[in-house]
């Protein structure tokens, strides 16, 4: 904790007040009603964290970064802390002076500092859905500490967890501050839904899936946190300024989550290829031989990628969506990089090439641009996602292994939208239910694949050591050396 003088100096230089129970740059000290409401919520939140947060490590000292500023550079401070004592704060990116609404029916009007009454329901729904995913991911990941392949990876997991929990705080602040009694109720509901629970599940599909192993965790942070990035980018364009500012700061944290995923997968590929080369195994499809080395075969990694990619595509909603059109026209949710697009930002007469199921086949057809906004954001996502696939393939190529990762067709294994009505192979060819059932174990993780991967998941807590199935990272966190004790388990 800082002394009072240190806090005053810190506040003067960064705008963040650490002198109250909830660190913030929204002047909670001068907003006693909201501070009280958040303090009350904090109690229930800590109960949730203790019950549903990382299982078995609540007393461990973890080398975590905490936000101490909101400017792009130098916002983080690193130090050892017990997770329940993490200073979850309410941090908004700096206000842009004279900001105007950038799109939709209100384009050019001053950005809203209060909730516009006519859009209250719509805004609340989006904030609640965004807020719901954050604790859901913590719940999904809560057992992974017990099988961490190294202290470095364990620390990264916990960093992601405390930040996703801070993202919950970010949405709860908006609910408490701007949505009155409804907002308080929604804030409490966010602590009572549970990932995977039959009676009170989390709101979106992917967030009710199990996360049984670290390969899933890395795939999730690569594919699903990237949906988080795209959605936050769209909400960062919002005409409701507090939402925009909140999302802008959340995005700075999101980059690390996707780094954890992309580098984690790269390291697994690296290790598998090395082991294959040492053992002179040339055929990556010789699953038995590769698994005998205690590493994860590349085809199983492709199947996991297929699963997490298709689950993440579902998070963009239907290709044709009046919800998306309404949110855009209202000025509530924009497009990816709306402020860098050159058009009229109203889309009243525009069309957009949209992937649809036409006459039983996937076809690209022009649709009104407003209702095709989910499709457009999903296209931006696919583009963003393919970059990492290319980098994974470079690792494979560098090791002279004959294998190529690729993204399956967007119609593959879908539960939301146009293609939820059909079954396809990974190339997007429509096949019958029975053909799918017969071949799905080649395309999605089978129970044997799951058993094998699970069998590798053993806790490795020796300083500087890594499980056999994953290569060490290129460098440590915050320039720490390889032999650093990232988590001190009590």
Least Å distance between CB 256 and Fe ion?
Answer: 8
Question: Residue 176 or residue 208: which is nearer to ligand BYC going by CB?
Answer: 208
- Closest distance between ligand BYC and the C-beta of residue 29, in Å? 29
State which residue, 64 or 330, has the beta carbon closest to Fe ion. 64
Q: Which of residues 244-263 bind Fe ion (CB under 5 A)?
A: 254, 257
Return the number of the residue (322 or 461) whose C-beta is nearest ligand BYC. 322
Of 54 and 284, CB closest to ligand BYC: 54
Binding ligand BYC (rule: CB under 6 A), the pick from 68, 93, 115, 204 is 204
Judged by CB under 5 A, does residue 271 bind Fe ion?
no
CA distance 383 to 226: 11
Using CB under 6 A, pick the residue from 14, 25, 66, 133 that binds ligand BYC: 133
Nearer to ligand BYC, 281 or 324 (CB): 324
- Quick one: which segment of 103-111, 148-156, 315-323, 354-362 binds ligand BYC (CB under 6 A)? 315-323
Site residues (CB under 5 A) for Fe ion, limited to 201-230: 225, 228
Instruction: Report the distance separating Cα 410 and Cα 482, nearest Å.
Output: 40
Give the nearer residue to ligand BYC in terms of CB position, either 28 or 90. 90
Taking residues 321 to 340 in sequence order and writing x for each that binds ligand BYC by CB under 6 A, - otherwise, the string is x-xx--------x-------
**Which residue number is nearest to ligand BYC in terms of Cβ?**
317
CB of residue 232 vs Fe ion: minimum separation in angstroms?
8
Q: Which does 317 bind (CB under 5 to 8 A by kind): Fe ion, ligand BYC, none?
A: ligand BYC
Closest approach of Cβ 458 to ligand BYC, in Å?
26
Task: Scan residues 231-250 and list those touching ligand BYC (CB under 6 A).
Answer: 231
- The two tokens of residue 273 are 């290829």
Enumerate residues 6+ apart whose C-beta is below 8 A from 109: 100, 101, 239
By CB under 6 A, the residues from 239 to 298 that bind ligand BYC are none
Q: Which does 274 bind (CB under 5 to 8 A by kind): Fe ion, ligand BYC, none?
A: none
Using CB under 6 A, which of the segments 95-103, 131-139, 279-287, 291-299 binds ligand BYC?
131-139
Computed over its alpha carbons, how large is the radius of gyration of the chain?
23
Residue 66 interacts with ligand BYC (CB under 6 A): yes or no: no
Please identify, among the stretches 67-75, 133-141, 202-210, 366-374, the one whose residues bind Fe ion according to the rule CB under 5 A: 133-141
From ligand BYC, Fe ion, none, interface partner of 130 (C-beta below 5 to 8 A by class): ligand BYC
Q: Which does 233 bind (CB under 5 to 8 A by kind): Fe ion, ligand BYC, none?
A: none
Closest CB 317 distance from ligand BYC, rounded Å: 3
CB of 473 to ligand BYC, least distance (A): 21
The answer to whether residue 129 forms part of the interface with ligand BYC (CB under 6 A) is yes
**Residue 447 to residue 441: CA distance in whole angstroms:** 8
CA distances from 440 to 35, 214, 328, 362, 412 (A): 52, 22, 38, 20, 11
Binding mask 211-230 for ligand BYC (x = CB under 6 A): -------------xx-xx--
Interface with ligand BYC (CB under 6 A), residue from 58, 188, 318, 329: 318
167 belongs to the binding site for Fe ion (CB under 5 A)? yes
Nearer to ligand BYC, 26 or 236 (CB): 236
Q: Which residue, among 75, 79, 109, has the nearest Cα to 92 in the 3D structure?
A: 75
Candidates 14, 24, 66, 137; binder of ligand BYC (CB under 6 A) is 137
* HEC sequence for the chain: CCCHHHHHHHHHHHCCECCCCCCECCCHHHCHHHHHHHHHHHHHHHHHHHHHCCCCCCCCEEEEEEECCCCCCCCEEEEEEEHHHCCCCECCCCCCCCCECCCCCCCCCECECCCCHHHHHHHHHHHHHHHHHHHHHHHHCCCHHHHCCCHHHHHHHHHHHHHHHHHHHHHHHHHHHHCHHHHHHHHHHHCCCCCCCCCCCCCCHHHHCCCCCHHHHHHHHHHHHHHHHHHHHHHHCCCEHHHHHHHHHHHHHHHHHHHHHHHHHHHHHHHHHHHHHHCCCCCCCCHHHHHCCCCCCHHHHHHHHHHHHHHHHHCCCCCCCHHHHHHHHCCCCCCCCHHHCCCCCCCCCCEEEEEEEECCEEEEEEEECCCCHHHHHHHHHHHHHHHHHHHHHHHHHHCCCCCCCCCCCCCCCCCCCHHHHCEECCCCCEECHHHHHHHHHHHCCCHHHHHHHHHHCCCCCCCCCCCCCCCCCCCCHHHCCCCCCCEECC
Residues that bind ligand BYC (CB under 6 A): 126, 129-130, 133-134, 137, 164, 204-205, 224-225, 227-228, 231, 314-318, 321, 323-324, 333, 374, 416
């Amino acid at each position: 904790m800082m002394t009072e003088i240190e806090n005053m100096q810190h506040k003067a230089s960064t705008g963040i007040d650490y002198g109250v129970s909830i660190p913030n740059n929204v002047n909670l000290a001068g907003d006693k009603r909201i501070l009280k409401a958040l303090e009350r919520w904090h109690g229930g939140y800590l109960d949730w964290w203790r019950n549903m947060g990382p299982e078995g490590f609540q007393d461990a000292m973890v080398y975590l970064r905490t936000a101490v500023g909101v400017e792009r550079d130098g916002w983080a401070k690193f130090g050892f802390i017990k997770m329940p004592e993490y200073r979850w704060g309410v941090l908004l990116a700096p206000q842009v002076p004279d900001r105007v609404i950038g799109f939709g029916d209100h384009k050019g009007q001053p950005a809203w500092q209060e909730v516009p009454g006519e859009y209250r329901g719509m805004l609340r729904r989006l904030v609640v859905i965004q807020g719901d995913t954050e604790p859901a991911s913590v719940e999904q990941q809560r057992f992974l500490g017990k099988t961490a392949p190294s202290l470095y990876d364990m620390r990264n997991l916990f960093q992601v967890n405390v930040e996703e929990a801070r993202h919950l705080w970010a949405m709860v602040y908006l609910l408490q501050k701007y949505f009155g009694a409804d907002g308080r109720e929604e804030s409490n509901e966010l602590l009572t839904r549970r990932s995977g629970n039959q009676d009170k599940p989390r709101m979106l599909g992917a967030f009710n899936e199990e996360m049984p192993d670290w390969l899933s965790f890395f795939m999730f942070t690569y594919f699903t946190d990237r949906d988080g990035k795209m959605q936050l980018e769209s909400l960062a364009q919002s005409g409701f300024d507090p939402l925009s500012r909140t999302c802008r700061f959340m995005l700075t944290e999101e980059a690390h989550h996707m780094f954890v995923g992309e580098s984690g997968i790269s390291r697994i590929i690296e290790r598998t290829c090395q082991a294959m080369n040492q053992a002179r195994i040339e055929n990556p499809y010789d699953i038995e031989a590769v698994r005998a080395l205690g590493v994860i075969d590349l085809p199983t990694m492709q199947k996991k990628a297929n699963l997490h990619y298709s689950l993440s595509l579902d998070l963009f909603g239907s290709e044709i969506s009046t919800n998306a059109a309404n949110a855009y026209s209202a000025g509530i949710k924009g497009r990816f990089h709306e402020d860098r697009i050159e058009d009229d930002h109203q889309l009243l007469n525009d069309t957009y090439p949209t992937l649809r199921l036409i006459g039983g086949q996937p076809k690209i057809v022009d649709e009104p641009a407003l209702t095709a906004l989910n499709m457009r954001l999903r296209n931006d996502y696919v583009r963003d996602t393919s970059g990492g696939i290319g980098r994974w393939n470079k690792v494979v190529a560098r090791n002279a292994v004959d294998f190529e990762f690729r993204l399956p067709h967007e119609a593959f294994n879908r539960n939301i939208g146009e293609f939820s009505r059909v079954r396809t192979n990974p190339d997007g060819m429509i096949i019958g239910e029975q053909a799918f059932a017969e071949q799905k174990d080649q395309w999605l993780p089978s129970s044997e694949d799951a058993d094998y991967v699970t069998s590798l998941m053993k806790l490795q807590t020796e300083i500087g050591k890594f499980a056999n199935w994953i290569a060490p990272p290129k460098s440590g966190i915050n320039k720490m050396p390889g032999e650093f004790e990232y988590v001190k388990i009590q």
